[in-house]
Amino acid sequence: MESLIFDVDGTLWDAVALVAEGWNDGLQSMGFAPHCTEQSIRPLFGKTMTEIAQVVVPGVPQEQAMEVMDRCMDGEMARLRRDPCHIFYPGAKETLTELHKTHRLFIVSNCQQGYIELLMEKGGLGGLISDFDCFGNTGLPKGQTLRLLCERCNVRDAVYVGDTQGDMEASEQAGLPFVWAAYGFGKPAHWDKRIDHFTDLLRL
């Protein structure tokens, strides 16, 4: 295998607590009651912003719901920028540093623009990641975003490392083997390889 492509939330770090706080900031700024908790939003990670908006502000017209989610994303990014973000899974940077010696490393997520850049800044990962893409850039489902990145970077032999059913389905759509991060947020129907700790990647 020449390359590894990583999901973000539930795979590289766990930002749920900070994100919940940021979304509540956004909701309040738009006149909605703050109701997001770690437990309520954890199942939403990995979904697109459009899908998340339907859950966070149900019954609100789509255009307004997306305005609310934009404000929630602003709140989320503000919280993450202010926080030291000691939320990476144990051994993540050390493992990526070792893998970088022999593999190209990429990130693909359903997140908004700027989120992956912030993660790389907080983790000091800039020199380790060859390229990345996200829903905020492409507006496409994750499987299509994965295919775009693979085409752009001439990725021929890779796996996708993620933690949810959506990640598994995106891997299938992109024609990539799926490595399930079992320590993350979800339990997919099936997987090609399983890791119980991020450092397990060094043994695969």
pLDDT in tens, 48-61: 888 899 999 999 99
Q: Is the pLDDT of residue 1 over 90?
A: no
Same domain, 22 and 55: yes
Largest CA distance in the chain: 50
Q: Examine the domain organization and report whether 9 and 66 are in the same domain.
A: no
Domain boundary among 82, 103, 135: 82
Average pLDDT of the chain is 95
On whether the pTM is more than 0.95, the answer is no
93 and 188 co-located in one domain: yes
CA dist 28 and 132 (Å) reads 32
Q: 29-64 in b/e burial notation, b at 16+ Cβ within 10 A?
A: ebebeeebeeeebbebbbbbbeebbeebbeebeeee
Tell which of 56, 82, 108 closes a domain.
82
pLDDT single digits (tens) 181-198: 999 999 999 999 999 999
Q: What is the pLDDT of residue 46?
A: 78
pLDDT band of 8, cuts 50, 70, 90:
very high
Are 91 and 78 part of one and the same domain?
no
Last residue of a domain, one of 25, 48, 82: 82
Mean pLDDT of 23-29: 97
Boundaries of domain holding 65: 16-82
Buried b (16+ CB within 10 A) or exposed e, 132-154: bbbbbeeebebbebbbbbbeebe
Are 95 and 139 members of one domain? yes
Domain count, the chain: 2
Residue 129 has pLDDT above 90, yes or no: yes
